[in-house]
């Protein structure tokens, strides 16, 4: 007898989208995440009185899959349109933000779910007769099916820890998935920044690929910038002490400060930030059949919030087709 129909590892966009879909089909689902709260790379940090998005900065909806969610988010005033391009361009495609921070999107997706547990770091996933055992320090769950939405190298490690036998083609495809890291600088200023309207700049030359003014985005009531390093700079400074990163990068960032003084600066690192080599389908069925093990996330359907959402929804449809029962 299983405790749940589906155990979802990861309360980022993909895991939460899948869980919502499965619960709408009356499946019993538990979502676990090692983070202190839901969101994964939808991450908002509070520093003193300021708030800063330090992972995803905005989201888009170019295909039809996310349309009804976006309508819901706008109706409920969870999200708002920020702009339709940066650097004076308008490509006609809305960029949406969440006033108060991008974690608000994950909280919205999670709020109606039955069982979401944060602070739970899964250690292994082991196949049994008619299901799976998912273990963490001090606990475990018996599930009919498992959905892994952790970054793919971490999902592989969980399967290896439980001795899951993978088809060699599946294993080599998953091992080929790669991610760029990102180093983020979070900077509090004593007055408004010099970042031009609409408050975001995409850059093609390093060390930064992106600068955002969280006040202009409606995330913070106090001047606070998020700067993302480009992949080359992030690789070069990976593992450096935060102070070393700040010493190296704050001078280059100062053009965005204008007349403002820096009140506080912090560094946040994302080891698995942006998938660069991806899986060719919206999800991966690592173990097929009535008691499946499926992988999903932005490495499967595009390195964006929208791609992660699509992947989670597609994986949810697949898992609902299986014979999982509690
Ligand atoms: C710096 C940065 C900037 C970005 N900017 C944008 C942007 O502007 N627009 C956009 O659309 N996209 C952006 N993205 C990409 C976007 O954030 C991701 O595509 C999307 O959030 C991925 O969602 P996910 O559910 O696939 O993965 P994640 O959000 O990474 O969720 C995976 C979850 O698994 C959990 N987990 C991992 N291992 C375990 C374990 N062993 N046990 C329990 N839980 C575990 C993690 O804690 C995490 O919460 C950005 C990403 C980064 C890092």
- 163 domain-assigned: yes
The pLDDT value given to residue 6: 97
pLDDT at 78: 98
Our answer on whether the CB atom of 150 is closer than 6 Å to any ligand 1 atom is yes
Phi-psi region of 145 (alpha: psi -120 to 50; beta: other; left: phi over 0): beta
Q: Is 326 contained in some domain?
A: no
Global pTM value: 0.98
Whether residues 130 and 201 share a domain: the answer is no
Assess if residue 299 is contained within a domain: yes
**Ligand 1 atom closest to residue 154's alpha carbon, by position in its atom list:** 38
Q: Please tell me the distance between residue 190's alpha carbon and the centre of ligand 1 in angstroms.
A: 31
pLDDT at 53: 98
User: Do 284 and 166 fall into the same domain?
Assistant: yes
56 lines ligand 1 (CB under 6 A): yes
CATH number for position 87: 3.50.50.60
Residues 154 and 200 in one domain: no
pLDDT at 325: 66
133 sits in which H/E element: strand 131-136
Separation between Cα atoms, residue 201 and residue 209, nearest integer Å? 8
Helix, strand or coil for residue 24? helix
Decide if 223 contacts 213 (C-beta within 8 A). Answer: yes
Q: What is the DSSP string of 169-231?
A: HHHHHHHT-EEEEEEEEEEEESS---PPTTTEEE-SSSSEEEEEETTTTTS-SS-EEEEEEPH
Counting from 1 in the atom list of ligand 1, the atom nearest the Cα of 16 is 25
Domain-located, residue 54: no
Atom of ligand 1 nearest to the CA of 272: 53
β-pair partners for 262 = 189
Does the beta carbon of 95 lie inside 6 Å of ligand 1?
Answer: no
Prior bond of 68 cis (ω within 30°): no
pLDDT of the residue at 326? 58
pLDDT at 321: 87
Q: How far is the CA of 146 from the centre of ligand 1 (A)?
A: 18
Q: Are residues 144 and 285 in the same domain?
A: yes
For residue 285, tell me if it sits in a domain. Answer: yes
Residues 103 and 239 occupy one common structural domain: no
Domain count of the fold of the chain:
2
Q: What is the mean pLDDT of each run of 10 residues along the chain (326 residues)?
A: 95 98 97 98 97 98 95 98 96 96 98 97 97 96 98 98 98 98 98 97 95 97 98 98 98 96 98 97 97 98 97 97 72
The token pair at 121 is 């770091």
Q: Which of 255, 276, 297 is the last residue of a domain?
A: 276
Q: Is residue 52 part of a domain?
A: no
């Amino acid at each position: 007898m299983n405790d749940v129909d589906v155990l979802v590892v990861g309360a980022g966009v993909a895991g939460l989208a899948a869980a919502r879909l499965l619960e709408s089909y009356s499946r019993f689902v538990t979502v676990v995440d090692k983070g202190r709260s839901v969101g994964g790379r939808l991450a908002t940090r509070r520093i003193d009185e300021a708030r800063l998005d330090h992972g995803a900065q905005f989201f888009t909806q170019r295909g039809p899959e996310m349309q009804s969610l976006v309508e819901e988010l706008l109706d409920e005033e969870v999200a708002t349109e920020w702009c339709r391009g940066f650097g004076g361009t308008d490509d006609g495609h809305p960029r949406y933000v969440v006033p108060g921070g991008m974690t608000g999107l994950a909280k919205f997706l999670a709020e109606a779910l039955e069982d979401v547990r944060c602070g739970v770091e899964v250690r292994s996933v082991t196949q049994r007769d008619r299901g799976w055992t998912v273990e963490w320090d001090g606990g475990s769950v018996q599930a009919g099916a498992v959905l892994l939405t952790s970054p793919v190298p971490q999902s592989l490690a969980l399967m290896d820890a439980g001795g899951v036998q993978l088809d060699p083609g599946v294993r080599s495809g998953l091992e080929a998935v790669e991610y760029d890291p990102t180093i983020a600088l979070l900077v509090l200023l004593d007055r408004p920044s010099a970042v031009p309207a609409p408050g975001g700049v995409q850059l093609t030359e390093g060390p930064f690929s992106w600068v955002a003014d969280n006040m202009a985005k409606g995330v913070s009531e106090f001047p606070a910038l998020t700067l993302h390093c480009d992949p080359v700079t992030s690789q070069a400074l990976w593992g450096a002490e935060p102070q070393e990163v700040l010493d190296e990068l704050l001078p280059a960032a100062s053009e965005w400060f204008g007349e403002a003084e820096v009140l506080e600066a912090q560094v946040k690192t994302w080891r698995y930030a942006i998938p660069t080599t991806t899986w060719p389908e919206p999800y991966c069925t690592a173990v097929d059949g009535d008691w499946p093990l499926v992988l999903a996330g932005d490495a499967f359907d595009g390195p964006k919030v929208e791609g992660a959402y699509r992947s989670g929804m597609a994986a949810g449809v697949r898992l609902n087709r299986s014979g999982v029962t509690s």
